[in-house]
Amino acid sequence: MVPGTCLRRARERLGLTYRDVERSSYELAKRRGRSDFIIRVSRLADFENGGVTPSLYKLYSLCAIYHLDVFEVCEWYSIPLRQRLRDSLEQPTPRTHLLAVLDDRPDPSAPKRPLDSERTSFLALQKGEWDPVAAALTGGKSRYRLGFIGTEDHWMEPLLRPGSLVLLDPARRRIDDSGWPNEFERPIYFIELRQGYRCCWCQRDKDRLILLPHPLSPCLPETLRFPDEAEVAGQVVGMAMRLFGS
C-alpha cells in the first residue's frame, strides 16, 4: 500500500477532514513556535494523492495529529528506523564514540524465545527477525548505551580490538582501581573527553584521572584533570568483538 493511502486511511479512521488537519497543525505550530509544522490543505492533498513525501516537521505533525507511531510511518516511506543500529555498524568510523541511545519502547524485532545464557550455542535467526547484537547485549533493558571502538583506536588491543561494540552502564561511574584478580575482570570505562572518547582502564588520583591502555597496546597513558577534561560516561559491562580472520 502506498504511503499516501495509509495517511488518508489514518485520517478517515479518526473522522478528520482536510480543514481539521490544517487547523490542528496551526495549533501545533503555534505551540512549538515554528511555522514548518503547518500542513495546508493543498499540501495534505499532495501527501495523500500526489506521491509527495512530507518534510520532517510535517511528518511529525501528521504523526501527532493522527496519533501514529513515527517508526511505522517511516516504514511506509521505506525508511527502516528500527534497523538504524544495524546499518550504523556497517559504517565503521576511525574514532571511538557513543551510539544513539537505545529505545525503551517495545520492539517487534525482539527475540521470540529467551536465550540460555549459561550454555554455548548457535543462534538460529530468521533474516530480519531481530537484531542479535542489541538483544544479546542489552537483555531488553533500556538503561544501557552502546559504544563503538574506532577502527583506529588501539588503546585496549588485544583485549578489546578496534571495531568492537561495547555495552555501557551509565549508572556505573565510580572508578574502581583495585581489587580485581586478573586483567579480564579489571573494570573498563568509557571516558568522554573534550574532543572525543576513550575506552580504557582508569586510575583516580584526587583531581586527576589517569587513562591506562593495555600493556600490549602501542598507546601511552594519559593524565587529565577530572572532571574538567575527562568524565566517566559509564563502565563497560559487555562487548561484541570480531575475531581476526573472520
Kindly report the CATH number assigned to the domain that includes residue 121. 2.10.109.10
In a domain, 128, yes or no: yes
Q: Are 67 and 103 in the same domain?
A: no
Q: Are 32 and 143 in the same domain?
A: no
The number of beta carbons lying within 10 Å of the beta carbon of residue 47 is 21
Q: Are 49 and 108 in the same domain?
A: no
Peptide bond between residue 132 and the one before it cis (omega within 30 degrees of 0) = no
**CATH code: domain of residue 66:** 1.10.260.40
pTM above 0.75, yes or no: no
Q: Are 155 and 174 in the same domain?
A: yes
Whether the Cβ atoms of residue 81 and residue 106 lie closer than 8 Å to each other: no
Query: Grid coordinates standing for 42?
Result: 493543498
**Which of 58, 76, 94 finishes a domain?**
76
Q: Are 113 and 199 in the same domain?
A: yes
Q: Are 40 and 120 in the same domain?
A: no
pLDDT tens, per residue, the chain with 246 residues: 899 999 999 999 889 999 999 999 999 999 999 999 999 999 999 999 999 999 999 999 999 999 999 999 999 999 998 888 778 877 878 888 887 655 544 444 444 444 443 433 333 434 344 454 555 555 555 578 888 888 889 999 999 999 888 888 999 999 987 888 999 999 999 999 988 899 999 999 989 999 999 999 999 999 999 999 999 999 999 888 877 654
The number of beta carbons lying within 10 Å of the beta carbon of residue 118 is 6
Alpha-helical regions (H) of the chain: 3-13, 18-32, 41-49, 56-66, 70-76, 84-89, 132-138
**Which of 34, 50, 76 finishes a domain?**
76
The residues, ordered by sequence, that sit 6+ positions from 184 with a Cβ below 8 Å of its Cβ are: 159
The DSSP H or E segment spanning 85 is: helix 84-89
**Which of 43, 76, 109 finishes a domain?**
76
In a domain, 139, yes or no: yes
In a domain, 14, yes or no: yes
Q: Are 129 and 222 in the same domain?
A: yes
Q: Are 119 and 95 in the same domain?
A: yes
Planar angle of CA 83, 146, 166, nearest 5 degrees: 120
Residue-range definition of the domain harbouring residue 225? 86-240
- pLDDT at site 127: 39
Q: Are 113 and 175 in the same domain?
A: yes
Give whole-number Cα distances, 51 to 22, 54, 68, in Å.
19, 10, 19
In a domain, 131, yes or no: yes
Q: Which amino acid is at 183?
A: E
Query: Mapping DSSP to helix (H, G, I), strand (E, B) and coil, where does residue 162 land?
Result: coil
Whether the Cβ atoms of residue 167 and residue 137 lie closer than 8 Å to each other: yes
Total domains in the fold of the chain: 2
Q: Are 212 and 95 in the same domain?
A: yes
Q: Are 37 and 66 in the same domain?
A: yes
